[in-house]
Amino acid sequence: MIPDESILEKSEEMVALAEKFGANNIRFFGEVVGGDPRPGCGVDIIVDVERGEVSVEDIDILKSKFKKLLGREVGLRTPDMFLPPIYRIISDEEVVHLDVLLNRSTDHLKETPIDPIVIEKRLELLAIAKRYGLVNLRLAGEIVRKSHQPDCTIQVLADIERSRFVDQLRIYGLELRMGKILGRMVTILIPDMMVPPLTRECLREAIVL
């Protein structure tokens, strides 16, 4: 789930504020990106900082700035403020990266044969893929053709984010999560794991999500 529009509208301002305080890579977690957040619920945020260059006082001031900007209670932490096992669970399964939310435009999909449900759920798909270490999502196969069947399998091409480990089991888990969101079967293909002729064929017709 992605944060509501009142938060999305402030995305660029949040990035600018964070940069002033030496923070980056804003991620949301907790109730605000849960399945059924309460209206006006608090916003839990994780940011990265350069070790030794940002003080606890800086984080507290940035937290106050975010609270004023969003008009809500804000919890702000860096990864070092979590116990390692807790942070691994949160970062793997429960965060939504703000940089994904900045890319909200769907204009490039309006003249394509892509089903409305895929366009509607686009941000949610990008956000969950990012959690699993996959980026640069593209649609390929039958779904990008005008004559596709309404219930066809949705084929997704994705790249593995640098420094992330993604195995076949993890990809299968993401296929299930995306399939649940769309109510359709989803297949994820990694170009680097495909034979070159098949890769070229898929990329030739692919549409960037």
Same domain, 130 and 177: yes
Q: Using one digit for the tens of pLDDT, what is the confidence trace for 143-192?
A: 888 888 888 899 998 998 877 788 888 899 999 999 999 999 999 988 88
C-alpha angle 129/13/81, rounded to 5°? 60
Cβ–Cβ < 8 Å for 24, 55:
no
Same domain, 65 and 92: yes
Both 91 and 154 in one domain: the answer is no
Same domain, 66 and 136: no
Claim to verify: residue 81 and residue 111 sit in the same structural domain: no
Query: Which one of 56, 82, 101 terminates a domain?
Result: 101
Choosing from 82, 101, 120, the residue where a domain stops is 101
Q: What range does the domain containing 178 cover?
A: 107-208
Let me know how long the chain is.
209
Number of independent structural domains in the chain: 2
Residues 90 and 118 in one domain: no
Predicted TM-score (pTM) of the model is 0.74
Of 64, 36, 168, 54, the closest CA to residue 45 belongs to 64
65 with 148, same domain: the answer is: no
14-49: pLDDT as tens digits? 999 999 888 988 888 888 877 677 877 888 988 988
